[in-house]
Amino acid sequence: MFRSLLFIPGNNERFLKKSTNLHPDILCFDLEDSVPNNEKVIARNLVGEFLSSQEGNNESSIYVRINAVDSGLVDNDLEMVLKEGLDGIVLPKISNRQQVIEVINKIDLIISERNIGSKIRVMPSIETAKGVINANSIASAHGNVAALIFGIFDFLYDMNVDVEYDDYMSYNYARSKIPVDARAADIYAL
| Average pLDDT per 10 consecutive residues for the chain, totaling 190 residues | 91 94 93 98 97 76 97 98 95 99 98 91 98 99 98 93 77 95 97
What is the predicted pLDDT for the residue at 162? 84
What is the predicted pLDDT for the residue at 27? 94
Distance set, CA 95 to CA 102, 117, 125, 155 (Å): 13, 29, 9, 11
Q: Which CATH number fits domain 5-189: 3.40.50.300, 2.50.20.10, 3.40.50.450, 3.20.20.60?
A: 3.20.20.60
Q: Is 137 exposed, middle or buried (0-12, 13-18, 19+ CB in 10 A)?
A: middle
What is the predicted pLDDT for the residue at 55? 60
What is the predicted pLDDT for the residue at 59? 83
> In this structure, are residues 26 and 5 in contact, taking their beta carbons and an 8 Å threshold?
yes
**Which parts of the chain are beta strand (E)?**
5-9, 26-30, 61-65, 88-91, 121-126, 147-150, 188-189
